[in-house]
Amino acid sequence: MGSEDRQLHIFMFPFMAHGHMIPMVDMAKLFASRGIKITIVTTPLNSISFSKSLHNYSADSLIQLLILKFPSAEAGLPEGCENADSIPSMDFLPNFFRAVSLLQPPFEEALQNNRPDCLISDMFFPWTNDVADRIGIPRLIFHGTSCFSLCASEFMRLHEPYKHVSSDTEPFPIPYLPGDIKLTKMKLPIFVRENTENEFSKFITKVKESESCCYGVVVNSFYELEAEYVDCYKDVLGRKAWPIGPLSLTNKKTQEITQRGRESAIDEHECLKWLDSQKPDSVVYICFGSLAKFNSAQLKEIANGLEASGKNFIWVVRKGKEEEEEQNWLPEGYEERMEGTGLIIRGWAPQVLILDHPSVGGFVTHCGWNSTLEGVAAGVPMVTWPVGAEQFYNEKLVTEVLKTGVGVGIQKWAPGVGDFIESEAVEKAIRRIMEKEGEEMRKRATEFAKKAKWAVGEEGSSYSNLDSLIEELKSLAF
């Protein structure tokens, strides 16, 4: 059989968290649209959301699921806890990663039995490098973040500039990173700034090391957004990288867009009807991703800041465990006062659909990369409110490199709970992006949105990067 007749077969192994699974499904659809056969490896409960996301997809015959039992009990997790978003508390995070590493033998067996031509696996599976080597296929890493933050975090790891400052609040430049980007120790992960070696910090070191010895990295970004940093990643760090995003733009139909991730807590027609009744660029959208759960005090400050800004809003709220029982996280009579001007969604929201609506003029975001890039693709200025992970790097990209947003004033890396911000800061930041000062940011944001759509089109950089990646994988396989 000639190489022209043989079909390329790629195994995709997403980490079990919605922020990692959603872009991987988009990527599977993108490869399938080029006639590539895809097998997504996942676990029983996570397979439900994959099936929903693929339900109306025309090329879904090219995408199949391979389901491995998730070892919850063996790792000391509650039954049915198969997703990072469903962990009862952060204390269970080590157990969750233990469960993930226990998947190695059944995963290797599945790879041996199916013999795909390539493996694209999440950064959180560093052990898949060795597995792919034993099978004799290339492993590509999917980080789910930008080249900017990949460069920043690697230079930080290699050169440790934070060790040469006299206080936690003294700014220092990130060495070798273009653009004179400065950070403080407070904005680094706790295990980095306190220089503690624990199970998780050792694991993160493995993740970063596996990046330097895998075949290459698939990036959910596009060249025109961060050209200097794509070049830096390839030329200075010497890594192979293919920016093929924004992956969210793979979904064209409304139904496909709304079925990304979990079941929405609001009917999309009701949501769109409400947005249709608003003026262009008049609504601010507030959402902090699937993992940050603020306490009542912080939620009240956000509520008061929104009200004081005088802007119409859609606010997606995910509360912490204690707040589930409490009803007092909103100021007295708040929802009655906000009737018609504010929409509160408790749970999951069809984010891309909302951001793309002409009446949405601003986005308050935790700077998770999916959200940041969806904001870029929608052309909206942003208020940045990083919480954990690599979100402080993404904030720098938005506020200092792209200049399409302003910071709300977060000074400290505090995953899950966030650093406390008062209502005045919330009001001020919202006014800055939604009023006169935001006009320049809006113009720039609109330009990047045009470039994003161009990048994934047939003449675009992401489109041709995907072509060249597929050709390279074929030349290795056939």
Q: Let me know whether 234 and 274 are in one domain.
A: no
- Cα–Cα distance, 261 to 352 (Å, whole number): 11
Query: Which uninterrupted H or E stretch holds 445?
Result: helix 438-456
Better pLDDT: 415 or 322: 415
Q: How many CB atoms lie within 10 A of CB 174?
A: 21
Q: Let me know whether 366 and 346 are in one domain.
A: yes
Residue 451 phi/psi, 5° resolution? -65, -35
- Cα–Cα distance, 100 to 199 (Å, whole number): 14
In a domain, 178, yes or no: no
In a domain, 181, yes or no: no
Residue 362 phi/psi, 5° resolution? -165, 160
In a domain, 170, yes or no: no
Q: Model pTM? A: 0.94
Secondary structure percentages of the chain, helix, strand, coil, to 5: 50, 15, 40
pLDDT, one tens digit per residue, over 392-440 is 999 999 999 999 999 999 999 887 777 899 999 999 999 999 999 999 9
Q: Let me know whether 106 and 77 are in one domain.
A: yes
Residue-level pLDDT at 261: 67
Residue-level pLDDT at 1: 42
- Cα–Cα distance, 232 to 229 (Å, whole number): 5
Closest CA to 125 of 147, 104, 96, 149: 104
Question: How is residue 468 written in tokens?
Answer: 């060249």
Count of domains observed in the chain: 2
Those residues whose C-beta lies under 8 Å from the C-beta of residue 397, and which sit 6 or more positions away, are 146, 148, 149, 226, 372
Region 222-232: what's the mean pLDDT? Answer: 98
Q: Is the peptide bond before 173 cis (omega within 30 degrees of 0)?
A: no
DSSP-assigned beta bridge partners for residue 218:
142, 242
Q: Let me know whether 26 and 122 are in one domain.
A: yes
Closest CA to 22 of 219, 221, 207, 262: 262
3-class DSSP state of 419: coil
In a domain, 470, yes or no: yes
Q: Let me know whether 291 and 239 are in one domain.
A: no
DSSP-assigned beta bridge partners for residue 64:
39
CA dihedral 277, 365, 266, 61 (to 10 degrees): 110
In a domain, 312, yes or no: yes
Dihedral sign (CA 83, 111, 105, 215): negative
DSSP letter string, 213-266: SSSEEEESS-GGGSHHHHHHHHHTS---EEE---GGGG--SHHHHHTSSS--SS
In a domain, 307, yes or no: yes
Active site amino acids: 20, 122
Q: Let me know whether 282 and 412 are in one domain.
A: yes
Those residues whose C-beta lies under 8 Å from the C-beta of residue 458, and which sit 6 or more positions away, are none
Q: Let me know whether 429 and 465 are in one domain.
A: no
Residue-level pLDDT at 337: 93
In a domain, 166, yes or no: no
Q: Let me know whether 274 and 200 are in one domain.
A: no
- Residue 60: pLDDT band by 50, 70, 90 thresholds? low
Q: Let me know whether 324 and 470 are in one domain.
A: no
Domain of residue 405, CATH code: 3.40.50.2000
In a domain, 158, yes or no: no
Q: Let me know whether 446 and 463 are in one domain.
A: no
pLDDT, one tens digit per residue, over 157-208 is 999 999 999 999 999 999 999 999 999 999 998 888 877 777 778 888 888 8
Q: Let me know whether 212 and 333 are in one domain.
A: no
CB 415 within 8 A of CB 204: no
Residue 316 phi/psi, 5° resolution? -95, 120
pLDDT, one tens digit per residue, over 206-217 is 888 898 889 999
Domain that holds residue 460: 9-149+186-249+456-477
Measure CA 152 to chain center: 17
Q: Let me know whether 108 and 63 are in one domain.
A: yes
Residue-level pLDDT at 209: 87
CB 187 within 8 A of CB 412: yes
DSSP-assigned beta bridge partners for residue 202:
none
CB 31 within 8 A of CB 3: no
Measure CA 454 to chain center: 21
The total number of residues shown for the chain amounts to 478
pLDDT, one tens digit per residue, over 347-377 is 888 899 999 999 999 999 999 999 999 999 9
- Cα–Cα distance, 307 to 329 (Å, whole number): 15
